[in-house]
Structure formats: C-alpha cells, structure tokens
Amino acid sequence: MAYRLVDDELPRLIGARLGMPADVVDTIENRSPGFGERLLAGMAGAVPEMSAPAPLPGNDLVMEYRREAERLIREAALAGDAVILGRLGGAVLGARPELVRVFIYAPLAWRIANVRASLQCDEAAARSEIGRIDEARRRFAREHYRMSWGDPHNYELAVDTARFGVDGAAAVIAGAVRATQAAT
C-alpha cells in the first residue's frame, strides 16, 4: 500500500492560502519568541494590569498558520493513506483507532552527528540548532495544544532512530500501521 507523505508541501500550501512565501511560513513553527515577547509574557504574571496584554504582531500570523496547518492536516487524514510528518499532527487529530501517532527521537550525540553531516557545521552549531528547534517545538506544543512535546502518553509508539536507523525505524512504524489496520 502506498502512502502520501504530508510534510514539505505544507508550508507551500499554507503560504498559498495565506498569500505569503512558503519560506516565511516554514519558519513560524520553529520560531522562538523575541526578547520583547518574552519580557511581556514574564511581566504579565507580575503586573495585574498586564495579565491580558494586547496580541503581539506576530501572534495573528501564528494563529493563521496554525488554523491553516490544522485544516490541511485534517484534510490529509480524511483523504486517508497519509503520513503526516511533524506539526503536532497527532495533537490536531487526537487519538483515533485507525491512527498511529509516533514520536521519533534519538540521543543527542546521534542527532548532533546527523545535523553536522546535513548542515556541514561544527558540533557547537549543531547543538545550538537542535536546542533552538527542540525548545520552539516544546513551546509551540505547550502554548497551542497544552501538551508536553515528546511525552510518550501522547503517542502510541516512540521509535529511537539511533537504535534502528532511519530505514529500521520506518520498518517498525510500518509494522505498527499494519497491526493497527488488522485490528480495526
């Protein structure tokens, strides 16, 4: 059975729907808030009159991105036979008997080696990029879905790519999908 991969086309499709370039849309999910945003968020808890601050300029864009991404994820799931990569698709779709929500992870040393190879950078740059993206994903999951990114309770399966390799991890996931299909 062939599955459609829903990944790289999402920023392009979201950009088309929002009328902006895909590369701008692609940065939103892994965007870290600026100093001003962090400062205002921190002050909101300490200064009562700031407890409901006016939306920051980037927030509207993030909410538009989120709405369009969720719409596209739901459309892909409804069409069936889709692998939805990232963008908290499991949180968007929720637990369903026909769905296998997978968290793919690896130890930091393995991730650093792979990022160094793919970006052709040194260890410090790879470590920094991994930390930046992981923190942005944690923050996005917490702020938009009230969930802990990577918490195994949010997934039916967690696969360590360092242990199985990329192809082996894909085989483990395919086996879980076949078992789910047989059970439903």
Q: Which residues pair with 102 in a beta bridge?
A: 157
Q: Residue 154 has what pLDDT?
A: 93
Q: What's the alpha-carbon Rg for the chain, to the nearest Å?
A: 18
Q: Residue 52 has what pLDDT?
A: 40
- Summarised one tens digit per residue, pLDDT across range 106-116 is 999 999 999 99
- Summarised one tens digit per residue, pLDDT across range 35-71 is 444 444 444 445 444 444 333 345 677 788 889 999 9
Query: Would you kindly state where each structural domain of the chain is located, as residue ranges?
Result: 1-87, 91-184
- Summarised one tens digit per residue, pLDDT across range 94-147 is 988 889 999 999 999 999 999 999 999 999 999 999 999 999 889 989 988 999
Q: Which residues pair with 158 in a beta bridge?
A: 103
Q: Residue 3 has what pLDDT?
A: 87
Q: Residue 33 has what pLDDT?
A: 52
Q: What is the mean pLDDT of residues 147-155?
A: 93
Q: Residue 63 and residue 95: Cα distance in Å, rounded?
A: 23
Helix count and strand count (H, E) for the chain: 8, 4
Q: Residue 66 has what pLDDT?
A: 86
Q: Which of 15-24, 80-89, 125-134 shows the lowest mean pLDDT across its residues? A: 15-24
State the pLDDT confidence band at 160, using cuts at 50, 70 and 90.
very high
Higher pLDDT, 168 or 48: 168
Domain at 91-184: CATH architecture: 3-Layer(aba) Sandwich (3.40)
Q: Which residues pair with 137 in a beta bridge?
A: none
The continuous run of DSSP H or E covering 84 comes out as strand 82-84
Q: Which amino acid is at 138?
A: R
Q: Let me know how long the chain is.
A: 184
Q: What are the Cα distances from residue 62, in Å, to 67, 69, 144, 151, 161?
A: 9, 10, 10, 23, 30
3-class state of residue 149 by DSSP? coil
